[in-house]
Amino acid sequence: MSDYISHDHEHDGIDRRGFLQCMAWAGTGLLWTISGGVLASRTLAEIAKAGGSLPAATDLSFLQISDSHIGFSKEANKDVTETFKIALDRINAMPTPPAFLIHTGDITQLSKPEEFDTFDEVLKSCRTKDVFYVPGEHDVLNDGGKLYRDRYLKSVEAKGSGWYSFNKNGVHFIGLVNVLNLQAGGLGQLGDDQLEWLEDDVKGLGADTPIVVFAHIPLWAVYPQWGWGTSDSERALGYLKRFGSVTVLNGHIHQVLQKVEGNVTFHTAMSTAFPQPAPGTAPSPGPMKVPAEQLRSLLGLTNVQYKQGKSALAVVDSNLS
């Protein structure tokens, strides 16, 4: 699928598909508004233009980057290393640097050591040095994730195939792995061992502890026909039901989608490499080719802010154009 106009009957530069896509994005904006305070929509550029720092009362600000796919060089983006660099430049340009980055997987295209090397080398230009990772299916292709784990879990106490948790500013962060041991015909999967660990991990926490869960494949049924969901995510969310604020950050689908369900806000991030089609709008979820001048508007990163005393976190997406 592409964003080229295929049926321009009114000669107004928009066809039915384009119009529906616009509406889909407008709908996303509306959702942000009605969820009042849960999500705010301000781009990094706007924050930078305001000239000052981030709102003074912001106690914690971190950044989510996702799906850098280093090594991909097809038509949808022949230079993913460059767009990854641009994303890092945006982070470096923020008046107040984020406390840390979260990378929600698909660091590489093919799990090759040289792809990981390139990623690590480029990442050195980022002013923010702390990065927390979860793997995407592209990072664990041929070795069950060994290479990934050797490189990216040094600063955490990872369990099993690489899941872990940590605390920052009173917020409890949980990094989950749902791209390994996938079953024929199924979706993303956490597995019994990880779920038991999760139940135990949050047991001692007060219900007022803000929770941030991050994993590669969405932890909600975005579009199971394309495998965009996690088969046992309901069980995971069951353990988090009693908490007043749960923010779930995912990648994998290369576009911003969100859903608010009770106290849980689900959010998917843009890729820094290439866009993917909206659910069901193409024969398959493969890389979406768009005109070169549109590409950067469909790539981006996500800023998340936690303000002490407010239970909900503000999740702000911005593109690279």
Partner 1 sequence: MITLISKNKMAALLCGIVFLNLSLLAFAGEMKDAGTSAHENQIEIKDFAFNPKTLTVKSGEKVTWINRDEEPHTIVSVEKQFKKSTALDTDQEFTITAGAPGTYNYFCSVHPKMTGTIVVEK
Q: Given the rule CB under 8 A, which residues bind partner 1?
A: 72, 74-76, 109-112, 137-138, 141-142, 182-187, 225-227, 283-287
Q: Nearer Cβ to partner 1, position 31 or 282? A: 282
Min CB(295)–partner 1 separation in Å: 15
Distance CA 127, CA 71 (A): 23
| Least separation in angstroms between CB 112 and partner 1 | 7
Q: Which is nearer to partner 1, 111 or 258 (CB)?
A: 111
Choose between 184 and 292: whose C-beta lies nearer to partner 1: 184
Q: Which two tokens stand for residue 163?
A: 């899941």
Measured distance CA(255)–CA(267) in Å, rounded: 10
Residue (37 or 185) nearer to partner 1, CB: 185
Token pair listed for 177 = 């792995």
Bridge partners of residue 289, in order along the sequence: 2
Question: Distance (Å, rounded) from C-alpha 79 to C-alpha 69?
Answer: 10
Q: In sequence order, what DSSP letters do the residues of 30-48 get, joined into one string?
A: HHHHHTTTS-----HHHHH
Instruction: Give the residue among 258, 254, 261 at the shortest CA–CA distance from 320.
Output: 254
Min CB(183)–partner 1 separation in Å: 6
Tokens for 267? 């959010």
What six digits make up the tokens of 113?
């050591």
To partner 1, the closest distance from the beta carbon of 110 in angstroms equals 6
Q: Which is nearer to partner 1, 90 or 289 (CB)?
A: 289
Minimum gap (Å) between residue 161 Cβ and partner 1 = 14
